[in-house]
């Protein structure tokens, strides 16, 4: 095997995908609901394509499909607001993405409560947990989308969800993250990275920590399988089930027939 990194073949599990897949790969940040107002009309649209582009001054950019009514309203009003929804608004987010704002008043149709913004005219959605008000400074048509570059004029948050960084609290306080189609995710746990000390050999330390993280992942899976096997035996015996401390990717009822046992704890969801 060659030591030249430019001559090494890709690992065996690597598969090619269409270039358009890059957009999905870059998804995963918090979904926002973009609200706009112009000439007495309001609109709201879910959006996953957004990013911060400057800290001083604070600026962000959003990419809106050119056929969207939201893009037309932003071009006219030169402003918009980002509203950050959480788990309880999951179905609202998906539904709002299926409606056409030029045909129906989405805010009225969904009966979403609003409150007065600080700097813009676009309404803010009360059921969300963070709000960013923006004024457009540049518009750039790019392919089938329009990039709106905007200055941040005001930021408000619910501290239960965001306190200088996102808080991993109860599910109903965590932001939604779009995966594609009608699938979403949300923050699960916080992990802290450790940087090698200046006196360490970084390649050795990082290699050891990679192995450590992989081992921790394997151990966690093995412990979960052992715990599920134990719970299945308890279910079969009709005994009480203590699900506390058990972390699962799906609801316990999807893995266990709970009809014969009595649940006394609650599993956490990954």
Same domain, 181 and 243: no
Residues 104 and 213 in one domain: no
Could you tell me which residue, 18 or 81, shows the higher pLDDT?
A: 81
List pLDDT tens digits, range 214-243.
676 666 667 766 777 776 776 666 665 555
pLDDT tens column, 239-256: 655 555 555 444 445 444
212 and 104, same domain (yes or no) = no
Q: How many whole angstroms separate alpha carbon 50 and alpha carbon 81?
A: 12
CATH number of the domain that residue 86 is part of: 2.30.110.10
User: Half-sphere exposure (CA, 13 Å, Cβ side) for 262?
Assistant: 4
Does a structural domain hold residue 124? yes
| Per-residue pLDDT, 67 | 92
The answer to whether residue 191 is domain-embedded is: no
Tally the domains of the chain.
2
pLDDT tens digits, residue range 126-152? 999 999 999 999 999 999 999 999 999
111: left (phi over 0), alpha (psi -120 to 50) or beta: left
Same domain for 180 and 80: yes
Is the pLDDT at 124 greater than 50? The verdict is yes
pTM: 0.73
> Are residues 59 and 99 located together in one domain of the fold?
yes
Domain range for residue 89?
Answer: 21-186
Of the candidates 140, 157, 186, which is a domain's last residue?
Answer: 186
pLDDT at residue 261, as a whole number: 45
Q: Are residues 206 and 101 in the same domain?
A: no
Q: Is the pLDDT of residue 265 over 60?
A: no
């Amino acid at each position: 095997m060659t030591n030249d990194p430019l001559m090494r073949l890709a690992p065996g599990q690597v598969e090619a995908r269409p270039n358009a897949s890059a957009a999905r790969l870059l998804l995963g940040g918090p979904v926002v609901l973009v609200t706009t107002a112009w000439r007495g009309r309001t609109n709201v649209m879910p959006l996953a394509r957004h990013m911060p582009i400057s800290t001083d001054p604070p600026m962000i950019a959003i990419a809106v499909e050119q056929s969207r009514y939201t893009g037309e309203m932003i071009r006219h009003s030169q402003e918009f607001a980002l509203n950050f929804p959480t788990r309880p608004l999951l179905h609202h987010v998906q539904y709002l993405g299926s409606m056409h704002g030029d045909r129906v008043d989405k805010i009225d149709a969904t009966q979403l409560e609003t409150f007065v913004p600080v700097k813009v005219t676009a309404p803010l959605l009360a059921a969300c947990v963070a709000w960013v008000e923006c004024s457009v400074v540049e518009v750039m048509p790019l392919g089938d989308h329009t990039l709106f570059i905007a200055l941040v004029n005001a930021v408000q948050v619910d501290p239960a969800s965001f306190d200088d960084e996102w808080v991993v609290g109860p599910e109903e306080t965590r932001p939604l993250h779009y995966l594609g189609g009608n699938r979403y995710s949300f923050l699960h746990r916080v992990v802290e990275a450790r940087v090698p000390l200046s006196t360490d050999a970084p390649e050795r330390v990082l290699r050891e920590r990679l192995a450590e993280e992989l081992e921790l992942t394997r151990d966690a899976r093995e412990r979960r399988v052992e715990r599920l096997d134990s719970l299945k035996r308890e279910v079969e015996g009709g005994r009480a089930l203590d699900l506390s401390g058990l972390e699962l990717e799906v609801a316990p009822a999807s893995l266990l027939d709970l009809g014969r046992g009595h649940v006394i704890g609650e599993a956490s969801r990954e």
